[in-house]
Amino acid sequence: MFAVIGLQHFIVEPSFSASSSLSNAIASSSLITKNNSDRLIAQDSNVDSPSLRTYDSLSEEEKALFNKIILFASIFGLVVYVFTSYCLMKIADKLEIPNSWLAWIPIAQIWVMVRAAGKPGWWLILFFIPLVNFVIGLIVFFSIPTSLNKSSLYGLLLFVPILGVFLYFGLLAFT
C-alpha cells in the first residue's frame, strides 16, 4: 500500500541509498516496511486522516459549517452567473449582436462572447480543446473591450480576485 506523506508518494529502493545501514534504519521505522521484492515502501501511518472522512462522520458543528460554506458558494455562484449573463446581454445589445438573449444559456454564452470580441463563430469549438481554450479565452476577453472602443487592458481586470469579474463585465456593460 502506497501512502501519502506530505504531498508525495515515496518508493525507496535500497540500491539508491547512501549506505546499507541507512537502508536498515529506514526499514526499521514504523512508516516503511520491506515487501517481497526487497523494496522499501512507505505506508500510511495515519489511517484516521480528516481528508478521508465522510459527511456522515462529521460532528453537528462541522456539518453546520460545511452546509453554510456550500450555501454561500452556491448563492455567490448564482449571483456571478446572473450578473455576468445580464452584462453580456447588454454588451451584445450595444454591439448589435443578434440573439443577445443567448447570453443566459451556458454554452451559447461562449458564442455571444466570441461574437462580441469580433471573432468568427467557429471559435466556439476552440473553447472545448484543453489548453487552447485558455489562450482563446484570453484573446476573447482582451478583444471584447476593443470592440466597444475601450482599451484592451480592461481584460486585466479579470485577474483581480473575486471582484474582477464584476469589474470587467460591469464596466463594459454600463459605461
Q: Return the CA Rg of the chain.
A: 26
Give residue for cell 464596466: 171
Question: In the structure grid, which three cell numbers stand for residue 116, read together?
Answer: 462580441
- What are 8's strand-pairing partners? 5
CA angle 142–143–145, rounded 5-degree value: 85
151 and 110 in a common domain: yes
In total, the chain counts a number of residues equal to 175
Range 125-155 burial, b when 16+ CB lie within 10 A, else e: ebbeeeeeeeebeebbbbbbbebbeeeeebb
> What share of the chain has pLDDT > 70, as a percent?
71
Asked if the model's pLDDT at residue 8 lies above 90, the reply is no
Domain for residue 101, yes or no? yes
23 and 84 in a common domain: no
95 and 34 in a common domain: no
The number of distinct structural domains making up the chain is 2
Strand 11-12, strand 4-5: pairing:
unpaired
Domain for residue 166, yes or no? yes
Listed residue (19, 43, 47, 22) closest to 33, CA to CA = 43
Domain for residue 60, yes or no? no
106 and 160 in a common domain: yes
Domain for residue 10, yes or no? yes
Domain for residue 37, yes or no? yes
| pTM given for the model | 0.66
96 and 27 in a common domain: no
Residue 127: strand, helix, or coil:
coil
Give the domain extent around 89: 79-174
30 and 92 in a common domain: no
**Alpha helices, DSSP H only, in 45-105?**
60-94
pLDDT at 37: 55
Domain for residue 69, yes or no? no
163 and 85 in a common domain: yes
pLDDT at 85: 97
DSSP class of residue 59 equals -
161 and 110 in a common domain: yes
Task: Dump pLDDT digits (tens) for 92-138.
Answer: 999 999 999 999 999 999 999 999 999 998 999 999 999 999 999 99
Domain for residue 130, yes or no? yes
90 and 25 in a common domain: no
99 and 40 in a common domain: no
Give dist(CA 89, CA 112) in Å, integer: 8
Domain for residue 29, yes or no? yes
Cα dist from 50 to 9, 35, 54, 55, 127, whole Å: 18, 28, 9, 11, 37
111 and 30 in a common domain: no
pLDDT at 163: 92
